[in-house]
Amino acid sequence: MALSRKQFDVLVAMKESETTLSQRELEKITGFSLGTINKVIKELTEEGLIENGNVTESGTEALEPYCAKRAVFIAAGFGSRMVPITLNTPKPLVRVHGKRIIDTLLDACLAAGIEEIYIVRGYLAEQFDQLLYKYPNIRFLDNPVYNEANNISSAVLARHLLSNSYVFEADLLLSNPKIITKYHYTSDFLAIPKERTDDWCFAVKDGVIKEEKVGGENCWQMVGISYWNDEDGKKLEEDLPSVFKGPGGKERYWEQVPLVYKKENYKVAVRECREEDIVEIDTFRELKEIDKSYDV
């Protein structure tokens, strides 16, 4: 059965709580009014999805279509702005305070119950094998054209894996693992609300991404983490190769397919996170500022 957005939010809140939640607590978590909570609980109870404040087996089954099944990491690039550290080490494997950047993302996936993990690698590909000691469940996809095409080439390689899937840029340092969530009502992109930014950002209306651009005011700064539901994953499987093979296709960033070149086929929500949740370390100078051990 398809859930309404309100039913979904209440059911997920109850499912993810370790204790039985009161209606007041549900009001606080979801932002819905007490009247709405009361109405939704009545609906969920009548449909057999909850009983005595707890999610039933049927409730868990109802959430299954909204569940993240896998994660795909785009990790093939050179990381030229991080030279000299990336001359011998792929950027996702660079350690910050002793921990590899990509580990912060992998650990968050596992904490959210996402164990089917693929890494698309290219530059110094064999170095990623070291991850298997800690994460034996990882599978690798090797991108043979990483140095002659943009990251769309990595997404094309993983196109058959994108339904019910997270897609991660593999060089993001995550400090709040809770932003990687198990359940998603729709396809979404993580972003930080900004009064002004010079970075890649989204123009958003009614919670839906309308435009991707560089720099703007009262916009949402893009974070390289997105989720794609079953329907949109199947569309990406067709649209990614189509754009890649078209004029200038090799120069595209992969997310420009659903957000720019084929955006009429998608309705992607924005999902809010905060500045302190995640850091993209772009340059060696920024790395030295975060981890003083490099400042020698």
Cα torsion through 162, 183, 28, 48, rounded to 10? 140
Dist CA 98 CA 111 (whole Å): 20
Q: Do residues 267 and 208 make contact, with C-beta atoms less than 8 angstroms apart?
A: yes
Taking the C-alpha atoms of residue 138 and residue 157, their distance in angstroms, rounded to an integer, is 16
Distance CA 88, CA 106 (A): 22
Which superfamily does CATH assign the domain made up of 67-185+223-249+279-294 to?
Spore Coat Polysaccharide Biosynthesis Protein SpsA; Chain A (3.90.550.10)
Beta-bridge partner residues of 193: 220
Angle CA(44)–CA(45)–CA(46) in degrees, nearest 5? 95
Q: pTM higher than 0.75, yes or no?
A: yes
Indicate if the pLDDT at residue 1 is higher than 70: no
Cα dihedral value 231, 167, 59, 32, nearest 10: -100
Q: How confident is the model at residue 280 (pLDDT cuts 50, 70, 90)?
A: confident
Mean pLDDT of 215-224: 94
The per-residue pLDDT for range 25-66, each reduced to its tens digit, is 999 999 999 999 999 999 999 999 999 888 999 999 999 999
- Listed by start position, the domains of the chain span 5-65, 67-185+223-249+279-294
- CATH number for 5-65 (one of 1.20.210.10, 3.40.50.20, 1.10.260.40, 1.10.10.10): it is 1.10.10.10
Q: What are the φ and ψ backbone dihedral angles of 48, each rounded to 5 degrees?
A: 75, 20
Q: What is the pLDDT of residue 193?
A: 96
The amino acid present at 288, given as its one-letter code, is K
| Residues 201-214: tens digit of each pLDDT | 999 999 999 999 99
For strands 99-100 and 139-142, give the pairing: unpaired
